């Protein structure tokens, strides 16, 4: 059947507006959004020597670990013992986001509040511990909670049970684009009237020996063990790989009129989302399709390239990704790319994998709120192939009306979110 373009235009006009009313995060900088944001804007690093396990047999001995996190602050001790750290981080971020939003679930709205939370691979800490128990001590030492703790959708399930949400729910697993896809899918559920509010984001706890060794074998990680805080250096000519991180980020998305009726504080509006897949290579990015993905977000929001003030880049600090993303930004923003500010949070928090897109989306929203563009740290030597304004080493005060947040994952998964200042 031929597509009726008039019907498409009308359906866009009828979509409901979506706003951000709550933020929660557990990051390598702090447990909590505001302290994480303050440290990020000051250029502080969450990267250090690994403390969770013995690294003497590894070539990479640094990571961006979560510090001073106490799960019993957010859940019962019994529940904490039975859940993987990725779930603990995500549940903690959710509770902080709901408190921040002042959103109460219950009294008849539970089936209008959904949960979309992602992860790269779920409970890898639990998987690692139980695999060692199986081979070292036998099958009887495998925990009965192994499977429920390990599967990737358990964070979404635990969150829904903890807060009483019964609306649309899913777990998106698209490598490093997971959380961004979760936010985009949650956005669509509200746009099309399937929910009034959504808990969206992701969490990961990938700082384990097998993951560090695996990424290093791909030659994807930095080996700057002697200077951890200098290891993640997106867009810098001397970059040598990313730094593995862990944590969680959760945003509360709401239908605009519903949020206004209950007197919610609105951080920003989310008007556009784009996603596609390269179909090219398992790890090598394709700038043409990355540009198309960003263009889809702009078109979805009816925002022109010259209106974009800031890009929160995926910016991993790998040779291929940084060049590819630079090309994609130049392709889609055109002449605006010569003046737009671009920065990478990963220079300070490392790569949070399945949580990266959510934490970076939170920082993008705060850039709009505060008029601050966070820096790209460790940008010391320009790369001729990376020739944009990367806000080097010092945060910049400037009004941010429109901002993009990019995420690109292994397997060619691309996702982009567009945020803007809220106007009724």
198 bridge partner residues: 114, 253
Whole-number Å distance between alpha carbons of 268 and 288 = 29
Q: Shortest CA distance to 97 belongs to which of 265, 269, 258, 310?
A: 265
The active-site residue, picked from 41, 120, 171, 176, is 176
Q: 148: exposed, middle or buried (C-beta count within 10 Å: 0-12, 13-18, 19+)?
A: middle
Directed axis angle between helix 287-301 and helix 319-333, to 10°?
40
Report the run of H or E that residue 352 belongs to, with start and end.
none
The active-site residue, picked from 41, 182, 314, 386, is 314
Active site residue 293: no
Between the alpha carbon of residue 238 and those of residues 111, 229, 231, 264, 349, the distances in Å are 51, 14, 10, 45, 19
The active-site residue, picked from 120, 182, 275, 351, is 351
Active site residue 171: no
Show the tokens assigned to 149: 């703790």
112 bridge partner residues: none
416 bridge partner residues: 274, 406
CB contact at 8 A, 178 and 86: no
Active site residue 314: yes
Q: Coil, strand or helix: which one is 249?
A: strand
Whole-number Å distance between alpha carbons of 202 and 94 = 10
Instruction: Return the active site residues.
Output: 176, 314, 351
């Amino acid at each position: 059947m031929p597509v009726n373009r008039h019907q498409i235009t009308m359906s866009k006009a009828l979509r409901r507006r979506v706003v951000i009313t709550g933020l929660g995060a557990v990051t390598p900088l702090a447990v909590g959004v505001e302290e994480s944001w303050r440290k990020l804007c000051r250029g502080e690093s969450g990267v250090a020597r690994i403390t969770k396990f013995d690294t003497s047999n590894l070539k990479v001995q640094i990571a961006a670990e979560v510090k001073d996190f106490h799960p019993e602050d957010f859940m019962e001790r019994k529940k904490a013992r039975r859940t993987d750290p990725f779930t603990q981080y995500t549940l903690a971020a959710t509770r902080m986001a709901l408190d921040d939003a002042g959103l109460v679930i219950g009294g008849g709205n539970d089936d209008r509040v959904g949960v979309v939370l992602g992860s790269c691979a779920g409970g890898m800490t639990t998987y690692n511990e139980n695999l060692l128990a199986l081979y070292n001590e036998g099958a009887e030492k495998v925990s009965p909670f192994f499977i429920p703790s390990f599967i990737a959708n358990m964070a979404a399930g635990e969150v829904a049970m903890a807060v009483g949400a019964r609306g649309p729910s899913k777990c998106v697993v698209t490598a490093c684009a997971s959380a961004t896809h979760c936010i985009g899918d949650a956005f669509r559920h509200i746009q099309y009237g399937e929910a009034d509010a959504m808990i969206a984001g992701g969490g990961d706890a990938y700082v384990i020996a097998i993951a560090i060794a695996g990424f290093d074998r791909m030659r994807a990680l930095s080996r700057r063990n002697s200077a951890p805080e200098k290891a993640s250096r997106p867009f810098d000519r001397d970059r040598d790989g990313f730094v593995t991180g862990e944590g969680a980020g959760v945003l509360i998305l709401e239908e605009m009129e519903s949020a206004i009726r209950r007197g919610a504080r609105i951080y920003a509006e989310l008007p556009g989302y784009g996603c596609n897949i390269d179909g090219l290579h398992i790890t090598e990015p394709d700038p043409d399709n990355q540009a198309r993905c960003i263009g889809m977000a702009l078109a979805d929001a009816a925002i022109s390239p010259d209106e974009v003030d800031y890009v929160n880049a995926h910016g991993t600090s790998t040779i291929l990704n940084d060049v590819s993303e630079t090309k994609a930004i130049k392709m889609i923003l055109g002449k605006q790319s010569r003046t737009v500010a671009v920065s990478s949070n990963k220079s300070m928090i490392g790569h949070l994998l399945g949580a990266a897109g959510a934490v970076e989306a939170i920082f993008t929203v705060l850039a709009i709120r505060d008029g601050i563009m966070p820096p790209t740290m460790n940008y010391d030597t320009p790369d001729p192939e990376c020739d944009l304004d990367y806000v080097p080493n010092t945060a910049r005060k400037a009004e941010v009306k429109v901002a993009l947040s990019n995420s690109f994952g292994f397997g060619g998964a691309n996702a982009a979110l567009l945020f803007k200042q809220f106007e009724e």
